[in-house]
Amino acid sequence: MPENEKKESKDIYDKEQITEMGSATVRSEKGLIHCLTIVGQVEGHQMLPENNKSTKYEHVLPQLAAIEESTEIDALLILLNTMGGDIEAGLAIAEMIASMKKPTASLVLGGGHSIGVPLAVAAKKSFIASSAAMTLHPVRLTGVVIGVPQTYEYLAKVQERIVQFITQNSRITKEKLIELMMRTGEIAADVGSIIYGEEAVKIGLIDALGGLSDALEYLHAEVRSKKEAQGDSLKMKSDGEMQDTINPS
């Protein structure tokens, strides 16, 4: 294929990647970083109306697996501006991000509400814009609910899973997190808290206050450190093989 046709094909793929999947892979001399956006509402097992902005978990999960296995992609940047959404889908995405070995960074822009909180803390380093907000509240269900003790026990277990995940992947204490989730009088007609950038960092929920350049700078430093470590490992292996050649047993 001629060079100009290859470039045109790549440009078309890049545009489709952005418009269809809300993601982009950016190459520079510092490394290859994949940018994944989680916006609107996280869609779970039930489809949302077409006029809703949504992030579909069946699109994100295979992307994360492909990124982790890719020999070309060096790091992952997650951009968050979400109102929350399906608990199971959100936790599934968060668990996959948390289990990745590649450098990951999240950046909360605008809002990272509800299930967006576990998604934000899942990355190895989390950033938040000073104007961004995060809503913490108890687990709740909409629609028909069977009013039996088992329903409340189930909700309590789901909430415990969320609390455990957040506290394991951030510096906030369990006591502080539950206190913020159960606070009354702050949100109209609801229970919970809205916290902003600086406070989110102060209480240990998010690692650092910052923007896009800060998140990218962190990822570039991690990629550089990883490559240097791999280079040292290869050099030691090469030196060892050379020594074995010179002094065979």
C-alpha R_g of the chain: 21
Residue 42 CA neighbour count, 13 Å, CB half: 28
Neighbouring-strand partners of residue 36 = 23, 78
Note if 137 is an active site residue. Answer: yes
Query: For the chain, which residues make up each domain, given as ranges?
Result: 3-246
The superfamily CATH assigns to domain 3-246 is 2-enoyl-CoA Hydratase; Chain A, domain 1 (3.90.226.10)
Residue closest to 122 by CA, chosen among 47, 42, 227, 196: 42
Per-residue pLDDT of the chain (249 residues; tens, 9 = 90+): 555 544 444 443 454 554 555 678 888 888 899 999 999 999 988 788 888 888 998 999 999 999 999 999 999 999 999 999 999 999 999 999 999 999 999 999 999 999 999 999 999 999 999 999 999 999 877 767 777 888 888 888 999 999 999 999 999 999 999 999 999 888 867 889 999 999 999 999 999 999 999 999 999 999 999 888 877 666 666 656 656 666 665
> Could you please report the per-residue DSSP string of 28-75?
ETTEEEEEEEEEEEEE-SSPPPTTS-EEEHHHHHHHHHHHHH-SS--E
Could you give the C-alpha distances from 48 to 82, 196, 232, in angstroms and in order? 15, 28, 50
Spatial neighbors of 176 by CB under 8 A, at least 6 apart, are 203, 204
Using DSSP's 3-state secondary structure scheme, residue 230 falls into: helix
Could you give the C-alpha distances from 227 to 100, 103, 197, in angstroms and in order? 17, 12, 32
Using DSSP's 3-state secondary structure scheme, residue 202 falls into: helix
Q: Which runs of E-coded beta strand occur in 116-233?
A: 125-128, 133-136, 193-196, 208-209
Separation between Cα atoms, residue 26 and residue 2, nearest integer Å: 23
* Structural tokens at position 153: 């026990």
Q: Catalytic: which of 23, 106, 114, 126?
A: 114
Q: Catalytic: which of 113, 137, 170, 193?
A: 137
